[in-house]
Amino acid sequence: MTGASAAELIEQARAWIAQDPDPETRDELQSLVVAAEADSAEAVDELHARFDTRLEFGTAGLRGEIAAGPNRMNRVLVAQAAAGFARYLLEHAAGVTPSVVIGFDGRKNSDVFARDTAELMAGAGVRAILLPRLLPTPVLAFAVRHLDASAGVMVTASHNPPNDNGYKVYLGGEDHGSQIVSPVDAEIAAHILDVARGSVADLPRAESYEVAPESVEQAYVAATVAVARSSVKRDTVAFAYTAMHGVGWRTARQVFSAAGFAEPIVVAEQIDPDPAFPTVAFPNPEEPGAMDLSFATARAAGADLVIANDPDADRLAVAIPDPSNPDGYRRLSGNEVGALLGWRAARLAEASAGPDEAAFGALACSVVSSPALAAVAEAYALDFEDTLTGFKWVSRAPGLIFGFEEALGYLVNPETIRDKDGISAATAFLDLAAELAANGRTVAEHLDAFAEKFGYFASDQISIRVTDLGDIARIMASLRATPPAALGTVAVSRIEDLRDGFGSLPPSDVLRILLDDGSRVMVRPSGTEPKLKIYIDASSDQGTVAQRTATAEARVAALAIAMRELTR
C-alpha cells in the first residue's frame, strides 16, 4: 500500500468505514476522508500513516493507538486478529474443539475488544470463555492453565500511553500458558492477513461464548497466597500500594489479606481503574514522576515500603525509605528487585533439598538484565538460563524456579503461571520484607548483604527515542559496520552479535559488547516503542560494600558517557 495516491487512500478508507462496527472510529475516519477530498495535505498524510502499513502481529501480539485504519488499534483490526487466531487454533486442534480464555483490563475499549473476540471465536467454532470482569493480566495467564485452555487472549496495553490498547496471545498445552514465540506468530499473522482480504462484517459471530466463574479469580488468589513461605508474623511491614489507575487492586487486596500482610495504605487517587490515567503522564512506574503520589502517601504514613503495580498488574515496582532522596523514598531498579527475589528463590530451593542433596532448578533472566542473577545461581549450584527479552522466553527456561527481566517483570511461581506477575512478585517481596523485619533488618541492609556475598552490581539504561524508525536501523548498522575498539578508556574484548542467533539464543537484533574489566553493554531496538535501548552493567567484588559500590557505579557512569557519544 505504500505510495498510494490520495484517491486510492480515500477508496481504502471508505472500504474500511463500510466494515467498521464502531461509530467513533467510523466518524473520525469519515472526517479525514472529507478533509482529504477537499485537498487537505494534512489529512492525506494522516491517511498514509493509517493505511500505508498495518500493525504487525508478532510475538508481543498487537499494540497501538486506538483509531481507525490498519495501522491503529480498533474493532476491525481486533476482529481480523480474532478470526485469524481462531483459524490457527482450528488448524492445530488435532480432532478436538479448541478453547480460548479471554481477559481484559480497564483501558478504553478493552471490554469491547474482548467481547468481539469471544463472539468471533464462538462463531468460528472455538470454545470461548470470557473472564467475568476486568482483571489483571496475571489472572488471564493463570486461567489458561487452570482451565486447561488451548489458548488465551488478554486485551491490554500494559503501561503504554492512555489512548493505546493491545492484544496479547498465550498458548496452553505443551506451551503451558506462555506467550507465543516464533514461528507461531508468523503462522497466526498469515491467517490474519488472509482474513483481512475480506470484510469483518461477513465473519460469523455467536453469543454462545461462556463466562468464566468467579472461582477462577479465587483459585488465582489461593495459588498466589501460597507464594508467601515465611513462618514469621507478616503484618509488621507497613506499605503503601498503588494500582496506577489499573486493575490490580481488587485482586491484590484479596491476596494481601489472605497472606496475613498489613492492610495496605492505598494511594487513593490511583486505586480505581481509570482509562484516562489522570494523575500520571505515562502509567509506568519506571517513568519520572509516575510514583510521586505513592511517595507522598508513604511519607504521610511513615510506610516501610511502597508497592506499585502497573495498570494490568503484570509488573511490580518497589520503593524503600531513603533519607537522602527529596521524596523520602527510592525506587529500586528492576535488577535490584530481581536480584533479591532470585536470592530468595535460591535459598528456598536450598532449604527444600535434603541434607545431602544439592538445590535443584534454574534461575533465568533476559540478556539485558543484570548478571547478578547468574552470580546467585553459581553460588547455589543452580542452573542459569540467559534468554532473549520478553517473558515469552524467560518463562520457557527448563527447570525454572525464578525468572525476571529488568523492566520490572518477575516470575516467582512458574508452577502455576508462565508470565510475569506483579501481584505474586509483590507477595514474595512482602514476605521477604516481613522475614527481614522479624530479624531486625531492613531491605536496604539486605541489599548490602547481597553486595557482601555476591559483589555489587551496578546498571544503567539509556533510551534514545526517535520519530523515524529508520534511525534505529541506521545506528545498529553503524555499530555493526564500525564496532568500537574501546568505550572510554576500557578496551572492548569482544562483541557478540545475536542477529543470527548466539549459542542457545534464537536470532535477535541485539549487540552484546563485552569489555576487558568485566563490564557489559547491550544494544537493541525496543520491541514496543520507537526507541533504541542501551543497557549497561558493571560489578565489583573487591573491598568494602562502599568501595564495591563506588567502583561499579563509576564504571557504569563512564560507559554511559561513551555510549551517548557513540550513538549521537
Catalytic, 508? Answer no
Bridge pairing between strands 531-540 and 520-525: antiparallel
Do the first three CATH levels of 58-213 and 217-226+236-454 match, i.e. the same topology? Answer: yes
Say whether pLDDT at 215 is over 80. yes
Query: In CATH, what number does 217-226+236-454 get?
Result: 3.40.120.10
Domain layout of the chain by residue ranges:
1-53, 58-213, 217-226+236-454, 455-566
Lowest mean pLDDT among 52-56, 85-89, 449-453: 52-56
CA gap 399, 364 in Å, rounded: 10
Lowest mean pLDDT among 322-336, 471-485, 526-540: 526-540
pLDDT of residue 528: 65
Total H helices, total E strands in the chain? 17, 22
Give residues with Cβ within 8 angstroms of 110, minimum separation 6: 104, 134, 155, 156, 165
Tens of pLDDT, residues 14-62: 999 999 999 999 999 999 999 999 999 999 999 999 999 999 998 789 9
Kindly state the average pLDDT of the residues 313-326. 97
β-strand partners of 400: 362
Q: What value does the mean pLDDT of the chain take?
A: 96
Kindly state the average pLDDT of the residues 414-427. 97
Can you say whether residue 381 is alpha, beta or left, with left for phi > 0 and alpha for psi between -120 and 50 degrees?
Answer: left
pTM for this structure? 0.95
**Considering 158, 366, 369, 539, which one is annotated as catalytic?**
158
Tens of pLDDT, residues 123-173: 999 999 999 999 999 999 999 999 999 999 999 999 999 999 999 999 999
The end-to-end CA distance of the chain, in Å, is 33
What are 133's three cell numbers? 470482569
CA nearest to 65, candidates 530, 472, 409, 509: 530
pLDDT of residue 226: 98
Tens of pLDDT, residues 93-110: 988 999 999 999 999 999
Say whether pLDDT at 1 is over 60. no
pLDDT of residue 194: 98
Q: Which CATH number fits domain 455-566: 3.30.300.20, 3.90.550.10, 3.20.20.190, 3.30.310.50?
A: 3.30.310.50
pLDDT of residue 240: 98
Tens of pLDDT, residues 232-265: 999 999 999 999 999 999 999 999 999 999 999 9
CATH architecture of the region 58-213 = 3-Layer(aba) Sandwich (3.40)
CA gap 368, 407 in Å, rounded: 9
φ, ψ dihedrals at 567, nearest 5°: -105, 15
CA distances from 58 to 185, 189, 218, 524 (A): 5, 7, 32, 17
